Amino acid sequence: MADADRDELAALVRGWTAHFEWGRESGAIALRRRGGASLPTAGEAPRVAAPVETPRVPAAVEAPSPAPVAHVVAPQPPRAPPIVEVAKPSPAPTPPAQAETRPLFEEPRRTFAPVVYAEERARLLTVVEDQARECRSCRLCEGRNQSVFARGSTNAELFFVGEAPGADEDRIGKPFVGAAGKLLDRILAAMKMSEDDVYIANVIKCRPPNNRPPEPDEAAACGPFLERQIELLRPKVIVAWGRTPTSFLLKKTESMTRLRGRWHEYMGIPVLVTWHPAYLLRNPDAKKDTWADMKLVLEKLGRPAPTGRA
């Protein structure tokens, strides 16, 4: 600080000091204590400072406590559905071959057409035979020499039903003309009957290759020819020779052993089931069964049964 300034400041202090001294002595100035009460002036009784009322502070309005916050679980964002591993769909099972599931033959017919008399019957059977000759309804037409329709009498009371033509039948054009046919003729002879007393036909009219059993669809395609033959002939007794005609006529899947030697029925006509002549050629011991069956047939026809074995 400069000397001039210092001197000026000292002069000011002295002036103020003199002023205060004058003021205190004259009572013009009362110095106040720190805290608010003024110091008494000279000659004045000391004053008791009135208690200073502390301004009342209004009770603090207790702020309403906030409503208890319920512990609300914040809504969860929608969760994605759990990922479930879905097994890849396996390919649809392959249906078994039709030949394994389908019934061997369709349902039997329920009613016959009205009876026709002998002349008309023969004529209608010729018409049906012509249809079979031209038929190409199944694959068997491809390997045939000719269709094989029937042999015997269209007036017969007895109808023999076989399975299908073999090589000899395919060549000659008549059913049961091979080795099995010769056995059938011997059976007829033992029954004291001839071809004039019987009508003979197969379920299948064309020869299956290698003499295999006919397929269900082949039997379904060809069966109506046999149905029409039976309908026109209206025999008194039918003999089913072997599995194929038995299944076709009776729609039964039981074994031949269970079905053989018993009477069954096709459209109200008695049906007897017996071994096929080809089976008898391979199993000669079974001939006695068939002979017993033929006796039942004769009995049903009202013919006398020969005694002894065939």
Q: Give the interface with ligand SF4 as residue ranges (CB under 6 A).
A: 132, 135-138, 140-141, 147, 204-206, 218, 221-222
CB of 258 to ligand SF4, least distance (A): 28
CB of 244 to ligand SF4, least distance (A): 12
Query: Is residue 129 helix, strand or coil?
Result: helix
CB of 165 to ligand SF4, least distance (A): 9
Query: Is 52 in contact with 35 (CB distance < 8 Å)?
Result: no
Nearer CB in complex with ligand SF4: 144/182: 144
CB of 263 to ligand SF4, least distance (A): 28
Nearer CB in complex with ligand SF4: 27/209: 209
Nearer CB in complex with ligand SF4: 41/146: 146
176: left (phi over 0), alpha (psi -120 to 50) or beta: left
Rounded Cα distance between 117 and 124, Å, is: 10
Nearer CB in complex with ligand SF4: 147/247: 147
CB of 105 to ligand SF4, least distance (A): 13
Query: Is 248 in contact with 214 (CB distance < 8 Å)?
Result: no
DSSP string, 88-101: PPPPPPPPPPHHHH
Residues 6+ apart with CB under 8 A from 234: 112, 115, 269
Query: Is 237 in contact with 270 (CB distance < 8 Å)?
Result: yes
Residues 6+ apart with CB under 8 A from 252: 246, 259, 264
Query: Is 261 in contact with 273 (CB distance < 8 Å)?
Result: yes
Nearer CB in complex with ligand SF4: 178/223: 223
Nearer CB in complex with ligand SF4: 204/301: 204
Closest CA to 241 of 202, 212, 292, 267: 202
Nearer CB in complex with ligand SF4: 147/290: 147
Rounded Cα distance between 185 and 281, Å, is: 13
CB of 140 to ligand SF4, least distance (A): 4
CB of 102 to ligand SF4, least distance (A): 17
